[in-house]
Amino acid sequence: MAPSGAGSPRTLLRRLREIMAEQTSAQARLDRLVSVIASIMVAEVCSIYLRRAGGAFELFATEGLNREAVHRTRMKQGEGLVGLVAETAEPVNLSDAFGHPSFSYRPETGEDPYHSFLGVPIVRGGQVYGVLTVQNRVARQYEEEEVEAVQTVAMVLAEVVAHGGLFDIAELDEPELRPDRPLTFHGDGLCEGIAIGTVVLHEPRVKVEHLIADDPQAELARLDMALAGLRSAVDSMLDSGELDLTGESREVIEAYRLFAQDQGWQQKLHDAVRTGLTAEGAVERVQDELRLRVSRISDPFLRERLHDFEDLARRLQRELVGKSTSDGTRDLPQNAVLIARAMGPAELLDYGRDRLVALLVEDATATSHVAIVARAMGLALVGGTKGIADTARAGDPIVVDGESGEAQLRPPAEIVSVFEARRTLREQRVAQFAAVRDLPAVTRDGVAIQLMMNAGLLIDMPHLDESGADGVGLFRTELQFMIGETMPRLADQIAFYRRIIDAAGDKPVVFRTLDLGGDKILPYGRWDREENPALGWRAIRIALDRPALLRYQVRALLMASADKVLRVLLPMVSDVSEFNAARALIDRELERARLMGLPQPRQTLVGAMLEVPALMFMLPQILRSADFVSIGSNDLFQFIFAVDRTNPRVARRYDALSPAALTVIRQIVRSAGDANGEVSLCGEMAGRPLEAMALIGAGVRTLSMQPANIGAVKIMIRSLDTREIAHFVDGLCGRTDHSLRTRLAAFAAERGVMIK
C-alpha cells in the first residue's frame, strides 16, 4: 500500500467523484467504491459495514472477502474489530488483527489470510453510520497518511449513505425512538418556565453538494473569503445594539468573537482543503472531528468551547453557500420550542426572542454558554434530554417544564391540559410569591428567619429584588472564572465585584472565594485528572498551595468593597489551621491596602464553610477565628453519607431528611450557639419548603437558596410555629427511619404548615 502518490487522498477523491457521477444503483456504486479504494490503496481487502436498525453492523460491500458474506455478516454492537471502531469512533490500526482481544472470527468472510487491519468510522452529524476497513496479508502498521486518506474517503461515504438511497436512513435510528406515539423525556431543568408550543428543529446544517475540489487553489481562496465574511458577520452581530446583552452573556459572546479568529482552527481548515476537499468539505471534515471530540469529552468547560467552534463552523458553511445565517429562523411559528443536540450562544441569539418560548438542548448544563444566554433571554430551558433531537420532528406539538426538566413530545390532550394547569399554577404561584415578597419571613410565634439567595453571575442579581431576599448568602465566585476564556485580570475582577455590590445596594453579599477543583475545572490552565476529585485538590486547598490566586481575588474584593462591609466565605475548610492561614493572607492584603492608601472595606468579615465533617468537631475553635459559619449541606452530606453527589446511581440513596442528617444539623446549631457563633445553611435543601421546615426545627435561622424558592419557603415560614417543629424534630432525631419525609409532611398537613 503506497502511503502517497497513487494512494494520495487527492487521487482517491478524484476517482471517488467519478464513481459518484455514474448513473447506477447505490449498491453498484458501493461495490465499485470498495474495488477502487482497494486498488488505489494497494490493499487486498476493502469492505464497508453499515449500521442497521438495532445497532448491528452489516457487511454491505467488499473487495477481497467472500461476496456471499455481503448482507449476511452482521456484527452486533461492540462486537469484533468493526464494533470496536464504531464504539470508539476512532480508527483502529493493527498489524496483527487476530491477536487483538476484540477480534471476532467469521468463517463465512474468508478473512483468514489477512493480518493487518485498518478500520475507520463513517461519521456524519456526530453519529457513526458505518465502518470502512482495509486489510492486507502482510503484518504491518498502516502509515499516518494512509489512515488520513481512508478517513477522508469515509467522510465522502457518509454522504453516499445519507443521500444514496441505499436504504431508508431513518432505519438507522433506534426503533423505539421513531414512533409517532407520545414520548416523555426527563432532563435537567436549567431555566424555569412552562411552555406549550411547536417543535422547531435546530438544523443549521447546510447540505453540502460538492465535497471534492476541482481546483484546490480556488477552494483555498473561497475558504479565506468565507472566513473573512464570518469574522465581519460576528463583529457586526456583536456591535449591533439589538442584542442588548450585558454581563456574562456579553462576555460569552465576546469569547466567541475570539474563536472566530482562532489560528489553530483556521489552519485545520486550510490543511483539509489541501487534501483535495472543497472548502465546504473541509469545514464538514473539521466539524465532524470536533463533534466526535465533543461527544467523548466529559469536561463540561472544554465541551463548551468545542460547541462554540461547532456554531462557528455551521456559520462558516452558510457563508460558503451564500445563505444568510438567520435564513432558517425567519419563519418560526408562534410559541416555538427549539430542539438541538448542541447549540452555541450566537446561534440562539440568531433566533431572537419574539417567538421562542423554550429550548431543549441535549448537551446543555447549567454553566453552558447557551444556558447563560437563554437565561438572559428569559426562555425555559431543559438540558440533558438525550435522544430528543433524533426523535422530534419539526411541527410536533410539545410541552416543556423548565423547572422539573420534563418534556412531553406529541402529548395527548390530557397532558396538554396538565401543563396548562401547571402554567396557570405557576403564574398564580409567581403572583402569590410577589404578594409575600415584601412581607417579613417571621413564624407564627414571632421568630424572624433570614432568607438569603444564592447567586454566581451578574444575571442572577435582579432576582434579589424580585424575590425579596435579604441578601446574597452565597455568591459562587468561581462561575465567573469558569465561563471566561482566560483568567480574569485584577481590573476585571474589581469591576465585576463592584457591579455585584452595586446591584445588591444595601443588602449584604457573602462572596465565597474560588471553590475550584472537584467537578469545577477552569477552561484554561493545566489540571491533572484525579481518582477522587471530590476528595482531591480543591477549594481552600488550592488557595493555600497557590496563594497568588486567592491574594488577587481578595485584593479585588477589598477594592470593590470600599467603605462597605465585605463578607468573605472560605470553601471546604477541613481544619482550623487551614482557615487561619487563609485569614492571615486576607489580613496581609488588608495591611497592604492600608499601607498603600488604597480603598478598603469599612469592615471585613471572614467565614468558613462547614462542608467537611472533621470541622464539625472543631466548631467552638473555628468560631474563635471565623466571624460566621455556613453549612454547605450539598458537600457535607456527600461526605457524611459517603455518596458522590454527582453520581446519579447513589446521589439520592440517602435522605437529608433522616435522623442522622437532622441530628448533625441540630448538633452544629447547638454547638455554634454555645460558642455564641452565627451559623447559616446554603445547600440546595434550604430551598425546599419541607426541608427548610425541618432545618428550622433543628434550629437554623438563616437559609440561603435559589431565588425562585424564596416565595415558597417564606409562605411555609409564615405558617409555622418554631416551638412545635423543634419539639417534633427532637422526637424524629431519636427514630431509626430511612427517611422522615412522610412524617414531616404529615406534621405539616396536621398543623396547617403550607408546603407547596
> Closest CB to ligand PEP among 346 and 371?
371
Q: Could you tell me which residues come within 8 angstroms of residue 716 by beta carbon, excluding any fewer than 6 positions away?
A: 689, 692, 693, 748, 753, 754, 755, 756
Among ligand PEP, Mg ion, none, the one that 683 touches (CB under a kind-dependent 5 to 8 A) is ligand PEP
Whole-angstrom distance, CA of residue 734 vs CA of residue 660: 9
> Closest CB to ligand PEP among 130 and 683?
683
Shortest distance (Å) from residue 633 CB to ligand PEP: 5
Q: Could you tell me which residues come within 8 angstroms of residue 34 by beta carbon, excluding any fewer than 6 positions away?
A: 46, 47, 48, 61, 62, 63
Among ligand PEP, Mg ion, none, the one that 237 touches (CB under a kind-dependent 5 to 8 A) is none
Whole-angstrom distance, CA of residue 618 vs CA of residue 675: 11
Among ligand PEP, Mg ion, none, the one that 682 touches (CB under a kind-dependent 5 to 8 A) is ligand PEP
Quick count: other Cβ atoms within 10 Å of Cβ 228? Answer: 11
369 counts as catalytic: yes
Shortest distance (Å) from residue 512 CB to Mg ion: 9
Q: Which of 46, 191, 307, 682 is catalytic?
A: 682
647: exposed, middle or buried (Cβ count in 10 Å: 0-12, 13-18, 19+): exposed
Shortest distance (Å) from residue 608 CB to ligand PEP: 13
Cα dihedral 701, 705, 710, 712 sign: negative
> Closest CB to ligand PEP among 63 and 635?
635
| Binding residues vs Mg ion (CB under 5 A) | 611, 632, 635
Q: Which of 191, 369, 463, 733 is catalytic?
A: 369
> Closest CB to ligand PEP among 204 and 683?
683
> Closest CB to Mg ion among 603 and 646?
646
The partner residues of 57 in beta bridges, in order of sequence, read: 51, 75
> Closest CB to Mg ion among 319 and 611?
611
The partner residues of 198 in beta bridges, in order of sequence, read: 336, 397
Whole-angstrom distance, CA of residue 390 vs CA of residue 369: 22
b/e map 101-112, b = 16+ CB within 10 Å: ebeeebeebbbe
> Closest CB to Mg ion among 488 and 517?
517
Whole-angstrom distance, CA of residue 186 vs CA of residue 188: 7
Report the run of H or E that residue 200 belongs to, with start and end.
strand 194-201
Q: Could you tell me which residues come within 8 angstroms of residue 228 by beta carbon, excluding any fewer than 6 positions away?
A: none
Shortest distance (Å) from residue 508 CB to ligand PEP: 17
Residue 571 has φ and ψ, to the nearest 5°, of -85, 150
Quick count: other Cβ atoms within 10 Å of Cβ 91? Answer: 19
Q: Where are the beta strands (DSSP E) in 500-585?
A: 509-512, 565-570
Shortest distance (Å) from residue 632 CB to ligand PEP: 3
Whole-angstrom distance, CA of residue 375 vs CA of residue 402: 11
Shortest distance (Å) from residue 376 CB to Mg ion: 26
Cβ-contact 441, 451 below 8 angstroms: yes
Place of cell 459562587: 476
> Closest CB to Mg ion among 44 and 635?
635
Shortest distance (Å) from residue 634 CB to Mg ion: 5
Shortest distance (Å) from residue 366 CB to ligand PEP: 11
Place of cell 435510528: 173
Whole-angstrom distance, CA of residue 748 vs CA of residue 295: 46
Task: Report the first-to-last Cα separation within the chain, whole angstroms.
Answer: 71
Shortest distance (Å) from residue 574 CB to ligand PEP: 14
Residue 380 cell numbers, joined: 425555559
270 counts as catalytic: no
Among Mg ion, ligand PEP, none, the one that 369 touches (CB under a kind-dependent 5 to 8 A) is none
Cβ-contact 636, 613 below 8 angstroms: yes
b/e map 325-335, b = 16+ CB within 10 Å: beebbeebeeb
> Closest CB to Mg ion among 219 and 611?
611
| Binding residues vs ligand PEP (CB under 6 A) | 474, 476, 515, 611, 632-635, 682-683
Shortest distance (Å) from residue 194 CB to ligand PEP: 26
> Closest CB to ligand PEP among 248 and 515?
515
Whole-angstrom distance, CA of residue 337 vs CA of residue 277: 36
Question: With helix as H, strand as E and coil as C, how does 438-507 read?
Answer: CCCCECCCCCECEEEEEECCHHHCHHHHHHCCCCEEEEECHHHHHHCCCCCCHHHHHHHHHHHHHHHCCC
Q: Could you tell me which residues come within 8 angstroms of residue 378 by beta carbon, excluding any fewer than 6 positions away?
A: 193, 353
* Residues with active-site annotation: 369, 682
